[in-house]
């Protein structure tokens, strides 16, 4: 099961959004990967090191895959996370995390 999603948060897949992405992915039992939609740089979504290492910027499209019983739910949550612009309160927090 997979989904192609555009990364909306200004910070891209860095800092706070990356941190939340990894945290969320780790809550599910499914095997989850992430990488550029048109690339072959797929990595495990459970690794902060790997996810930040992708250096994905705001506006890029990523492919998220999930295999397991809760794959659907995992993809729903991760998609929501990447397509929600960081809210105002959160923005200042993410902001200084550069």
Residues marked as catalytic: 14
State the minimum distance, in angstroms, from the CB of residue 92 to other proteins. Answer: 7
Segment near other proteins (CB under 8 A), from 31-39, 48-56, 68-76? 48-56
Residue 16 touches other proteins, criterion: CB under 8 A:
yes
How is 31-73 classified by DSSP, letter by letter? EEEEEETTSS--EETT-HHHHHHT-PPTT-EEEEEEESTTHHH
Between strands 2-6 and 61-67, the pairing is antiparallel
Residues 6+ apart with CB under 8 A from 9: 16, 17, 58, 82, 84, 85, 86, 94
- Interacting residue with other proteins among 55, 72, 80, 83 (CB under 8 A): 55
How is 75-92 classified by DSSP, letter by letter? HHHHHHHHHSPPPHHHHH
Residue 25 touches other proteins, criterion: CB under 8 A:
no
Residue 39 touches other proteins, criterion: CB under 8 A:
no
Residue 83 touches other proteins, criterion: CB under 8 A:
no
| Residues in touch with other proteins (CB under 8 A) | 10-12, 14-16, 18-19, 22-23, 44, 46-50, 52-53, 55, 58, 86, 88, 91-98
């Amino acid at each position: 099961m997979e989904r192609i999603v555009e990364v909306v948060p200004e910070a891209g897949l860095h800092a706070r959004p990356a941190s939340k992405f990894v945290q969320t992915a780790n809550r599910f039992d499914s095997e989850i990967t992430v990488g550029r939609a048109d690339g072959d740089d797929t990595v495990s979504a459970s690794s902060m090191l790997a996810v930040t290492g992708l250096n994905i910027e705001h506006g890029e499209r990523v492919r998220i895959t999930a295999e397991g019983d809760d794959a659907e739910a995992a993809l729903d949550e991760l998609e929501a996370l990447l397509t929600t612009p960081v809210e105002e309160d959160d923005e200042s927090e993410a902001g200084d995390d550069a």
